[in-house]
Amino acid sequence: MIPAFRRRDSFLHRRHPASAILLVAALVAVALIADNPFFQVTVIIATAILARSAGVFKEWFSWWKICLIVGLATAIINPLVSREGATIIWNGPTLPVLGHLRISWEAVAFGAGMGLRLAAIIWVFALLTLTVDPDSVLGLLRGRGSKSALVTALTLRMVPTTVRDAGDLMDAQRSRGVVVDSGSKWALLKSRLPLLKRVLSTSLDRGIGLAEAMEARAYGSGRRSRYREYHFAVGDMVTVVVAVMLLGAVIAGAASGILSFKYYPSISISYGPGTLALLLSPLVLAALLALLSWGWRRSDYLRLRT
Amino acid sequence: MGMEKIGLLEIEDLSYAYPGCEEAALKNVTLSVRQGEFLLLLGASGSGKSTLCRAVNGLVPHFYGGRIEGSVKVDGMDTVTSTVSELSRTVGMVFQDPENQMVTDSALSEVAFGLENLGLERLQMKKRVEEVLASLRLSDIRDRSINELSGGQQQKVALASVLVMHPKVLVLDEPTSQLDPISAEDFLSQLKALNDELGLIVILAEHRVERCFHFADRVAVLDRGRMTFAGEPSEMTEWSRGKRWVPLPSITRLFLDGKGIGVPLTVKQGRLKVAEMVPPQVIADDTVAPERPKSRRKEKRPDDRPPAAVEVSGLWHVYEEGTEAVRGVDLVIERSEFVALIGENGSGKTTLVKHFNGLLRPGKGKVTIEGRNAKGIEVAELARACGMLGQNPNLQLLAATTQAELEISLAAMDVPRESWGALIDDTLEMLEIEEFRDANPQDLSCGERERVALASVLVYRPDILVLDEPTRGVDQGTKDRLAAYLRRYNSEGHTVILVTHDIEFAAECCDRVLLMGNGQVLADGDKHDVLAGSLFFTTQYNKCFRGVADGVVTREEASRALGVLP
């Protein structure tokens, strides 16, 4: 089960949702902009530092399975389908659909780089899930947006319930001898379709119950007010500055070419005077926020002013 | 002529039919509820309790549509001409399943949700929210995620989230059906305190009358949409005399058999009554329970005996998140035994039985089913010996008809097709559901669905039958029928294992009781020994006869002790 958000008393948890989202958006953006795989590694380490500072490292790290599966799948599939790259390491047979197998070192590296990038992005979103309250994101939006956000929040809240329903349904069927988890693909599909139908109808029942409960509590009766107040504190300003600095530095690095990393036709790395500094920038900025977080936990002065 | 006091809630000649239904769910219901009254709404499944609850807050007809006649007026507002939103300021409703009524992710946001919808100022909201959280003792869990809360806490949050809107009427539709006895008691006690202190009208629809009968100022009974009784609890006992099935606490029903007046409504009254009626000496256990078997736990198992139905040794189970759900359990259940596993939520009951058919595998220890080590045997294979019915019958049912539902099980068990007809006929007859053979199980009532789900397991006659909370949310009549089916199945030589919170049901059905707590078996033995030795996990009969006839745990034994039966 994927760990969900839990309220904690940490610098990151107490951020204004807008500043927390901006920080996460910046991390995702730099992971997408920079091709250099070492940069993806530093983004992952920076995210780990932030998770540690927020006291959610264990939960954050538990996403490793998803990261590994997605990363490995990308790393394996790319060399099989890519026809680029100058250094051929294996000339294989011709297969249906895939064609002639010709695996190059560059395609393997590109696959690994993309896998690493996906893992970095997943882990950044894990940080978002663990430290930003979905209700606070809902509270940020008003009018039409708030309805969409409510639907999203409700859907997210129902995910664990639906997963549990599906598990219970499978258990109920297995308990009377129905085989639902082995056999041929066709047999699996055949045995699981009725289960899917039942999960959907159970979700629909739950949805109707929820709609009833919402209407009984005056939802849709007019303009809503907002219970939670979100103050934009100095700590949020620092978070925003950190996020903008990181984004600016990476954009500048990418534009000047010092972060360039080309896989095809053969691997080439651009290295300039600022490359190392840029590669380390996510770590430095994450360390800065972690330091602030450390101080925030120990000093009432910082806590009250940030 | 004195002016008659008008109720805050006035229901007059109300009839209602759901869209597409010929038969009305409510028929000419008339009821007046005064401010501060605690009204208990009773009736079998499908009698119209939930519909009446929804008529009070306007969900019927606004949310459901359908045909409505007559009127419902709450604090002067007609529920047909007022919107549900307008009514929500006066009527708060708590639903059966806490999970299906939670909109947001945290307790605090959930409580504030209704006030946000009303567009209240932030300061006003804060005052109300904090007040309600404190009064329901929820302040400590305010920031916790809804998914992390127990069922009892979730239901209290649901109560807080309607209470915060300052309603004059609180309607609760079976709010404790998903809770264990201790959480249910806690929830209902708080409800009674709110009724006493704030003068709110409380309308509570419930099946488990033992839990709440003593709280009620008035009781209304519905039967197939008609109100057959409305009056004070003490009047209900007179009305009930001579009727075959009545929704009364077990201790009250016991004294209905006898003559004379002053039928007790609570355990305390029952105890006093017993002291009056029974001669002042302690009645020996073998007088009230002559059939009582000896405890089998300490006996050494002879080597020549056939393998036990279930044998568990040194079983530990730790869930992924680190919860030690079962901690070193040793257990032998012989063939043809009827065993109940009782204990509070999270005591490890369900985790333990899920090892019997391989749904869970031991972290440590060994589970043997009819002499075969369960390790490495597929669930589908173990299911041949050990059929299991889970808590939610809806999840058991997949097919479009009852007959097709039973055929799924028979096909899964590779039963020769030529014997299907006889097996299906026998099962439908045993569970009295022949009339639903061609009906879609999803269209049936809760109790009927429970029987179809049970039929889908019983049809292939597993040697061991495990039922997890089969009486959750079902009425007394359904329970009595279920008890009879299970006893019959057990008498045919099958082993029956029951996981339940319903101690009265366990006592009526089983011979042996296992009390679990903190992942361990705390007590194991004959039901009389285990239940009579427990303060809380015991029946109302035992509580009444304690000190006079300690061995009394069932209705029959209680009747015998009173000398009502020969």
Examine the fold and report which residue of B204, B230, B246 is the final residue of a domain before the chain moves on: B246
Q: Do B232 and B357 share a structural domain?
A: no
Amino acid letter for position A32: L
**DSSP secondary structure letters along B260-293:** SS----SHHHHHHHHHHHS-SSPPPHHHH-TTPP
Q: Does A193 touch chain B (CB under 8 A)?
A: no
| Greater pLDDT, B396 or B468 | B468
| Greater pLDDT, B462 or A162 | B462
pLDDT band for B1, please (50, 70, 90 cuts). very low
- Tell me how close the Cα of A214 comes to any Cα of chain B, in angstroms: 7
User: What separation in angstroms does the CA of A105 have from each of A71, A77, B357?
Assistant: 17, 14, 50
pLDDT band for A54, please (50, 70, 90 cuts). very high
- pTM summary value: 0.80
Domain edges within chain A = 17-146+231-305
Contact call for residues B307 and B371 (beta carbons, < 8 A): yes
Average pLDDT value for residue range B439-461: 88
pLDDT band for A258, please (50, 70, 90 cuts). confident
Cα–Cα distance between B363 and A69 in angstroms, integer? 26
Within a domain: residue B565? no
Q: Do B144 and B17 share a structural domain?
A: yes
Q: Do B47 and B162 share a structural domain?
A: yes
Q: What is the pLDDT of residue B370?
A: 94
User: How many other CB atoms are there within 10 angstroms of residue A251's CB atom?
Assistant: 15
β pairing state of B338-342 and B495-499: parallel
Average pLDDT value for residue range B362-382: 92
pLDDT surpasses 60 at B518 = yes
Cα–Cα distance between B336 and B464 in angstroms, integer? 8
pLDDT surpasses 70 at A123 = yes
pLDDT surpasses 80 at B523 = yes
| Greater pLDDT, B338 or A77 | B338
| Greater pLDDT, A134 or B206 | B206
Helix (H) or strand (E) holding A167: helix A143-174
Cα–Cα distance between B141 and B56 in angstroms, integer? 31
Examine the fold and report which residue of B246, B277, B306 is the final residue of a domain before the chain moves on: B246
Structure tokens at B485: 């089916």
- Tell me how close the Cα of A203 comes to any Cα of chain B, in angstroms: 10
ipTM: 0.84
Among partner residues B88, B104, B380, which is closest to A216 by beta-carbon distance? B88
pLDDT in tens, B219-242: 999 999 999 999 999 888 888 877
CB pairs under 8 A between A and B: 190
Contact call for residues B208 and B475 (beta carbons, < 8 A): no
Within a domain: residue B512? yes
Taking CA–CA distances from B460, the nearest residue in chain A reads: A176
Within a domain: residue B30? yes
Within a domain: residue B421? yes
| A4–B145 C-beta distance less than 8 A | yes
Among partner residues A7, A209, A224, which is closest to B100 by beta-carbon distance? A209
Helix (H) or strand (E) holding B60: helix B59-62
- Tell me how close the Cα of A106 comes to any Cα of chain B, in angstroms: 40
Q: What is the pLDDT of residue B3?
A: 45
Total structural domains within chain B: 2
β pairing state of B520-526 and B324-333: unpaired
Within a domain: residue B406? yes
Q: Do B201 and B75 share a structural domain?
A: yes
Q: Do B236 and B138 share a structural domain?
A: yes
pLDDT band for A52, please (50, 70, 90 cuts). very high
Examine the fold and report which residue of B246, B278, B293 is the final residue of a domain before the chain moves on: B246
Question: Domain containing B384: what range?
Answer: 336-362+375-534
- Which residues, 6 or more positions from A266, have their beta carbon under 8 angstroms from its beta carbon? A85, A86, A87, A106
Instruction: Kindly report the CATH number assigned to the domain that includes residue B222.
Output: 3.40.50.300
User: What separation in angstroms does the CA of B296 have from each of A290, B371, B466, B526?
Assistant: 62, 19, 20, 8
Among partner residues B102, B103, B357, which is closest to A175 by beta-carbon distance? B357
| Greater pLDDT, B26 or A179 | B26
Q: What is the pLDDT of residue B300?
A: 63
Q: Which residues of B touch A135 (CB under 8 A)?
A: 104-106, 109
Q: Does A305 touch chain B (CB under 8 A)?
A: no
Q: Which residues 198-257 of A have a C-beta within 8 angstroms of B?
A: 198, 201-202, 205-206, 209-229
pLDDT surpasses 90 at B346 = no
Within a domain: residue B258? no
Q: Which residues of A touch B99 (CB under 8 A)?
A: 161, 206
pLDDT in tens, B70-93: 999 999 999 999 999 999 999 999
pLDDT surpasses 60 at B291 = no
pLDDT surpasses 50 at B295 = no
Among partner residues A7, A169, A215, which is closest to B59 by beta-carbon distance? A215
Within a domain: residue B187? yes
Average pLDDT value for residue range B242-254: 81
pLDDT surpasses 90 at A156 = no
Q: What is the pLDDT of residue A143?
A: 57
Q: What is the pLDDT of residue B2?
A: 42
Q: What percent of chain B has pLDDT over 70?
A: 93
Instruction: Please report, for chain A, how many H helices and E strands are present, in that order.
Output: 11, 4
Q: Do B161 and B30 share a structural domain?
A: yes
Structure tokens at B483: 């008890």
Among partner residues B85, B119, B380, which is closest to A179 by beta-carbon distance? B380
Q: Which residues of B touch A178 (CB under 8 A)?
A: 380, 408-409, 412
| A157–B102 C-beta distance less than 8 A | yes
- Tell me how close the Cα of A141 comes to any Cα of chain B, in angstroms: 14
- Please provide the average confidence, as pLDDT, over all residues in chain B: 88
pLDDT in tens, B268-290: 888 888 887 766 555 666 666 65
